[in-house]
Amino acid sequence: MAWVTFGSFIGSFGAVFLKAGAKRLEKNLKSIYTNWRLAAGVGAYLLSTIFFLLGVRRGELSILYPLVAFGYVWTVFWSRLFFGEPLTRTKFLALGMILVGITVLSLGNK
């Protein structure tokens, strides 16, 4: 469980770096392969995948999925912190519903 929580934390940074890198993309190859932010994003994703795999080995999937989804909460906070995106009530409502939905869905997967 600790592995998965850590994995989703790292994965949320992956999203932040991908976003930062994506904003700098231009229509030439050089802007892709010299883009360290994209590389960092992909790296963070791969790393988080490894932590998930470690976590899935022992641990019930019905608890693991909601933990993975909790990474979205981190991402939303980083969006505010790093990109100054507004945190609206609508976003929190939607996010809450998605988390509840994933929890209910994984209970059904038992």
Partner 1 sequence: MSQTLAEPAFISSPEQRRRSVWLVLGCTILGAVAQILIKLGANTLGAHPSVLDMAIRILTTPTLFIGYSLYALSTVLLVLALRHGELSLLYPVIALTFVWVTILSVLIFHDSMNPLRLSGIAIIVSGVAILGKGGSR
> Which stretches of the chain bind partner 1, using CB under 8 A?
15-25, 37-38, 41-42, 45, 65, 69, 72, 75-76, 78-85, 87-88, 90-91, 93-98, 100-109
Cα 58 from Cα 60, distance rounded (Å): 7
* CB 103, CB 43: distance < 8 Å: no
Q: Measured from the CB of residue 106, what is the shortest distance to partner 1 in angstroms?
A: 7
Q: Measured from the CB of residue 6, what is the shortest distance to partner 1 in angstroms?
A: 19
CB nearer partner 1, residue 1 or residue 81: 81
